Amino acid sequence: MGKVYKNAADALEGLTFDGMTVMSGGFGLCDIPENLIAALRDSGAQNITAISNNAGVDGFGLGLLLEPRQIKKMISSYVGENKEFERQFLAGELELEFNPQGTMAERIRAGGAGIPGFYTKTGYGTVIAEGKPTREFDGETYIMETGLKADVSLVKAWRGDTQGNLQFAKTARNFNPMMATAGKVTVVEVDELVEVGELDPNTIHTPGIFVQRIIEAKCEKRIENMTVRERN
Amino acid sequence: MGKVYKNAADALEGLTFDGMTVMSGGFGLCDIPENLIAALRDSGAQNITAISNNAGVDGFGLGLLLEPRQIKKMISSYVGENKEFERQFLAGELELEFNPQGTMAERIRAGGAGIPGFYTKTGYGTVIAEGKPTREFDGETYIMETGLKADVSLVKAWRGDTQGNLQFAKTARNFNPMMATAGKVTVVEVDELVEVGELDPNTIHTPGIFVQRIIEAKCEKRIENMTVRERN
Amino acid sequence: MTQRTGWTRDDMARRAAQELKDGFYVNLGIGIPTLVANHIPDGVDVTLQSENGMLGMGPFPYPDEVDPDLINAGKQTITELRRSSYFNSAESFAMIRGGHIDISILGAMEISEGGDIANWMIPGKMVKGMGGAMDLVAGVKRCVAVMDHTNKAGASKFLPQCTLPLTGRDCIDMVITDLGVFSRGEGEGRFRVTELAPGVEMDEVKAKTEADLRWG
Amino acid sequence: MTQRTGWTRDDMARRAAQELKDGFYVNLGIGIPTLVANHIPDGVDVTLQSENGMLGMGPFPYPDEVDPDLINAGKQTITELRRSSYFNSAESFAMIRGGHIDISILGAMEISEGGDIANWMIPGKMVKGMGGAMDLVAGVKRCVAVMDHTNKAGASKFLPQCTLPLTGRDCIDMVITDLGVFSRGEGEGRFRVTELAPGVEMDEVKAKTEADLRWG
């Protein structure tokens, strides 16, 4: 029952198929599961529905899957740092479902938590609300959003132990913990794989129950928008 | 705008009133906000609706508020370690609303997260579902539960800094973090009050935004059910 | 009274422990299910969840290890393991409700032939509450109920319909009693007798069971 | 073209910063709102939230401090403060949706007289998405929009109804433009002119505003 796999290709073995739904963690290019995304591309799976806050950039992140046209549909809150994405979208080759970022985060949490639907004020009165059930609470109208799940969730963490307990670094946490809960199978790449007992049980962000496979892998960690100040 | 108060009485000053709704953290007697509960009793507030997983024991925890009959209604998942509770309930002096423990935890989280309602399978087909709206998702029926909020939340944490950032110890976390988010005003007692910067930002369980007032206080930390094994 | 045949409480716990598979995440209820932890087969590594917010529950502490901040859902003092992690109650029940726990073994007052369970209240008596039981039976992947087959008066607790208020509907996959094991697969309506306790004859089971089982 | 009167982008940011009170938790949008951080009044201590999962956002890093694991919602590299805390996106938006952020200052393409805001898409152009904007305007206690009063063609951006797809309905409490400040209190339908930028006359505001304000 070991959860530790040799490398990304190994970790995705038997999990990929045409028409699959994949969640992919990260925010912008910050701690995306780089190696697992590349292995998913190499698997050749087609017609993927990808749930990810962003769509990567050309040649990196989910951009890797866009070029060989493996993605059929994206569910995201913010895209378009990516020329190939724009081209496919404008040519009608790519479906796109925008979710408000908080709604998306909550839908993923709900999916993992066995909550099939919840009400939110976000998007009421906008195109986002079109076709969605509404309900009044205390005189205010809310729209119903549904839980999201995936066949496979790809997650990037800072440290993980051999039981799959995870810690995330700083703002690299973002969508990763919820996605870990919402995949039928969750595969994780970590900067540092440690023995069980090395992580303080009080400071684990994702308990190992949500993790089925884990690899240690080197990450490029690209910076999308380097902004610095001068020392005076 | 300092959040640090001298003691429990000081921290509740101006917050208590007849008919108020109070959330009180802890599980059993494990890390309940002992000192704040005692100060709430001393405030003399009447007709309190108390939201707490349990109701304390005679003379400790929420039991302190039961004896002087300050509680009108309890929302709990498990009670009755408490003779006075039983007496008042059987005499019809105390209203009691049972919630499944997970539904209760999620209702409190929802209250703090701006989610007025959500669907769950828990309790479907039981008395808990009576009178609640239902909805089908993928052929299964779920019941709707609503978010819970409080006028004041009383929370017990292990360590807190002067900005209200909190850490909880082991299983003493329980309901405390969600309750911190669901109070109009959240008052916290900690074992250890530290300076800002002493807690690792990566390991904070409750960010200070949810905490309005904080005190350091000595806790008795009663053990409800001491169970040990022998060294052989 | 004749000499008792069938399983003792400890036997039932031992039999329930056979349902645990290597790598499982497990929630054990109070009573007989607690004893299951003593009978986990060799080579089977499971992680115990405590719904008040812990994975990787360890054994009871030695007297000098007792920590008031470390208790299980029965409010007993416990210990942590190297693999342990802590989380809040909302996260704990997200885990339960979301189907992440592989198996729940829990006590029962009554089980119906359709897999309903009643184990939280007796009308007319002081009701303590359902705690996490309703969430567990609604959320956990597989639920195994352990109970005596009959009550003290000899009446069947395995019934066409539960007479006590339900904890959950159509959620029990296996029932282990002092007389044997009763199972139903995914999508099967009724239970089959899949095992008899030593010395127990099918006739005795039939005589003591009001529920309509698939006897064939 | 005549010499420009009214506020510059920096002036607008400075004016917006006056809305921050000591102890506030604040979310700043991109564009002019980002500049607000440079103008926080002395003696006012606020905590900046970044919706990708941080409270206590610090200034941009020195070149040798850059950390790829530490970015803001605009994906810019930032730093942490002693008070900082990190959390996941669900927790971050629970904070926003639950009304725990005191104020959001954000850019706008159009504002309606009823407090609607449009700031995320222009039909016919490539749409990048709303990111967290819809959650912010729906959830934060008080929303202040900062925008130029007119577009490059001189047409009013303060309108009876937004012509662009909405980000949120009836959610903006104050509008700061290059011409002045427009406010409405809790439960008030329309905005009042509460302040004019230096050199700006009410007639100019009236001429450049299509929205029906409470001019009185």
Mean pLDDT per 10-residue section of chain B, whose length is 232 residues: 93 98 92 95 98 92 94 94 88 95 98 98 97 97 98 98 98 97 98 98 98 95 89 78
Among B112, B181, B207, whose Cβ lies nearest the Cβ of D55? B207
Cβ of C83 and A197 within 8 Å?
yes
The set of chains that have 3 or more CB pairs under 8 A with D is A, B
**Run of H or E including A142:** strand A140-146
Q: What is the mean pLDDT of residues A3-15?
A: 98
CB-based contact, B142 to chain C, within 8 Å: no
Instruction: Quote the pLDDT of residue C1.
Output: 44
Output the six-digit token pair for A118.
């919840």
Instruction: Quote the pLDDT of residue C174.
Output: 98
Among C71, C128, C132, whose Cβ lies nearest the Cβ of B30? C71
Instruction: Quote the pLDDT of residue C2.
Output: 52
Taking the model in full, what pTM does it have? 0.97
- pLDDT over 90 (residue D196): yes
Residue B87 φ/ψ, nearest 5 degrees: -60, -50
Q: What is the mean pLDDT of residues A202-223?
A: 95
Which pLDDT band holds residue D210 (cuts at 50, 70, 90)?
A: very high
Which pLDDT band holds residue D84 (cuts at 50, 70, 90)?
A: very high
Which pLDDT band holds residue C20 (cuts at 50, 70, 90)?
A: very high
ipTM beyond cut 0.90:
yes
Cβ of A114 and C139 within 8 Å?
yes
Q: Which residues of A touch B116 (CB under 8 A)?
A: 119, 137-138, 140, 142
CB-based contact, D148 to chain A, within 8 Å: no
CB-based contact, C127 to chain B, within 8 Å: yes
Question: How many Cα neighbours within 13 Å face the side chain of A32?
Answer: 26
CA distance A189 to chain C (A): 19
Instruction: Quote the pLDDT of residue D1.
Output: 44
Contact call for B and C: 3+ CB–CB distances under 8 Å: yes
Q: What is the mean pLDDT of residues A38-50?
A: 98
Q: What is the pLDDT of residues C159-216, one digit of tens each?
A: 999 999 999 999 999 999 999 999 999 888 899 999 999 999 999 999 999 999 998 7
Size of interface A-D (CB pairs under 8 A): 177
CB-based contact, D96 to chain A, within 8 Å: yes
Nearest CA in chain B to A170: B202
Q: Which residues of A touch D94 (CB under 8 A)?
A: 106
CB-based contact, D70 to chain A, within 8 Å: yes
Question: How many Cα neighbours within 13 Å face the side chain of D75?
Answer: 19
- pLDDT over 70 (residue D88): yes
CB-based contact, C22 to chain A, within 8 Å: yes
Q: Which residues of C touch B168 (CB under 8 A)?
A: 86, 88
Cβ of D98 and B196 within 8 Å?
no
The full 3-state SS of chain C, as one line of letters, equals CCCCCCCCHHHHHHHHHCCCCCCCEEEECCCHHHHHHHHCCCCCCCEEEECCCEEEECCCCCHHHCCCCCECCCCEECCEEEEEEECCHHHHHHHHHCCCCCEEEEECCEEECCCCEECCCCCCCCCCCCCCHHHHHHHCCEEEEECCCECCCCCECEECCCCCCCCECCCCCEEECCCEEEECCCCCCCCEEEEECCCCCHHHHHHHCCCCCECC
Instruction: Quote the pLDDT of residue D126.
Output: 82
Among A1, A115, A209, whose Cβ lies nearest the Cβ of C100? A209
Distance (Å, rounded) from C-alpha B136 to C-alpha B115?
19
The C residues from 98 to 117 touching B (CB cutoff 8 Å) are 116
CB-based contact, C75 to chain B, within 8 Å: yes
**What's the mean per-residue pLDDT of chain A?**
95
Cβ of A181 and C139 within 8 Å?
no
Cβ of B137 and A146 within 8 Å?
yes
Nearest CA in chain B to D69: B202
CA distance B171 to chain A (A): 9
Among B112, B181, B196, whose Cβ lies nearest the Cβ of D82? B196
Nearest to B26 by CA among B90, B95, B117, B108: B108
- pLDDT over 50 (residue A8): yes
Cβ of C101 and A209 within 8 Å?
yes
**What's the mean per-residue pLDDT of chain C?**
95
CB-based contact, B109 to chain D, within 8 Å: yes
CB-based contact, D79 to chain B, within 8 Å: no
The label of the residue with tokens 């282990």 reads C176
Q: What is the pLDDT of residues A74-122, one digit of tens each?
A: 999 999 788 899 899 989 999 999 999 999 999 999 999 999 999 999 9
- pLDDT over 60 (residue D174): yes
Q: Between C123 and A37, whose confidence is greater?
A: A37
Q: What is the pLDDT of residues D20-39, one digit of tens each?
A: 999 999 999 998 999 999 99
